[in-house]
């Protein structure tokens, strides 16, 4: 039995431990905000938080989850509560186009900003490697700087 938490709720799992976390989230728990894009940990559409790390959930098996705390996009801000500053920045800057990659982008970026509270463009270039075919990168970069400023203000 593997025990871990998803968005604050404890779950017990005794199924196929070779299954990637992504499919457990999507098909069992119905947290469909975490997207399937490539299955090889390249595009980042499936990014979730595990503890203090941003992880591509298509490439992490159930066997590796015991005792972990997992947060998905659905758990980033509680229902009816204020959105995370990155989510808010995405709305304020009208970032998404097709939007399919954006939950993964936001999960990667929220984690990135914890380690880089005032990132330079170079930090962003290095730290954010998720794929967006629509080409929202230019807008994303602006929104990341904006979100960082919002978070600094809140923290102050």
Q: Please report, to the nearest 10 degrees, the dihedral formed by the alpha carbons of residues 144, 145, 148, 152 taken in order.
A: -170
Nearer to other proteins among residue 35 and residue 49 (C-beta): 35
Smallest gap from residue 35 Cβ to other proteins (A): 7
With both helix axes pointing from N to C terminus, report the angle between 102-115 and 137-155 in degrees, rounded to the nearest 10. Answer: 40
Beta carbons within 8 Å of 126's beta carbon, 6+ residues apart: none
Nearer to other proteins among residue 25 and residue 68 (C-beta): 25
Nearer to other proteins among residue 79 and residue 156 (C-beta): 79
- Angle, CA 120 vertex, CA 84 and CA 100 arms, to 5°: 45
Smallest gap from residue 66 Cβ to other proteins (A): 19
Smallest gap from residue 98 Cβ to other proteins (A): 3
Interface with other proteins (CB under 8 A): 16, 19-20, 23, 26-27, 30-40, 42-43, 45, 72-74, 76-77, 83, 87, 90-91, 94-103, 106, 121, 124-126, 128-141
Q: Measure the CA–CA gap between 123 and 119, rounded to whole angstroms.
A: 6
List the one residue out of 142, 46, 44, 126 whose CA is nearest residue 93. Answer: 142
Nearer to other proteins among residue 45 and residue 148 (C-beta): 45
Smallest gap from residue 116 Cβ to other proteins (A): 14
Nearer to other proteins among residue 78 and residue 156 (C-beta): 78
Smallest gap from residue 53 Cβ to other proteins (A): 19
| CB contact at 8 A, 113 and 119 | yes
């Amino acid at each position: 039995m593997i025990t871990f938490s998803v968005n604050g709720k404890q779950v017990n799992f005794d199924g196929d431990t070779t299954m990637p976390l992504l499919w457990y989230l999507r098909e069992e728990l119905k947290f469909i905000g975490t997207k399937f894009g490539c299955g090889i940990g390249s595009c980042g559409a499936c990014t979730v938080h595990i503890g203090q790390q941003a992880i591509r959930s298509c490439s992490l098996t159930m066997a590796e989850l015991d005792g972990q705390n997992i947060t998905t996009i659905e758990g980033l801000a509680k229902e009816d509560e204020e959105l995370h500053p990155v989510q808010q920045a995405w709305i304020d800057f009208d970032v998404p186009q097709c939007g399919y990659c954006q939950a993964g982008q936001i999960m990667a970026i929220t984690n990135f900003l914890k380690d880089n509270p005032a990132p330079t463009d170079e930090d962003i270039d290095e730290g954010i490697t998720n794929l967006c075919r629509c080409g929202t990168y230019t807008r994303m970069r602006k929104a990341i700087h904006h979100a960082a400023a919002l978070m600094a203000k809140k923290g102050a």
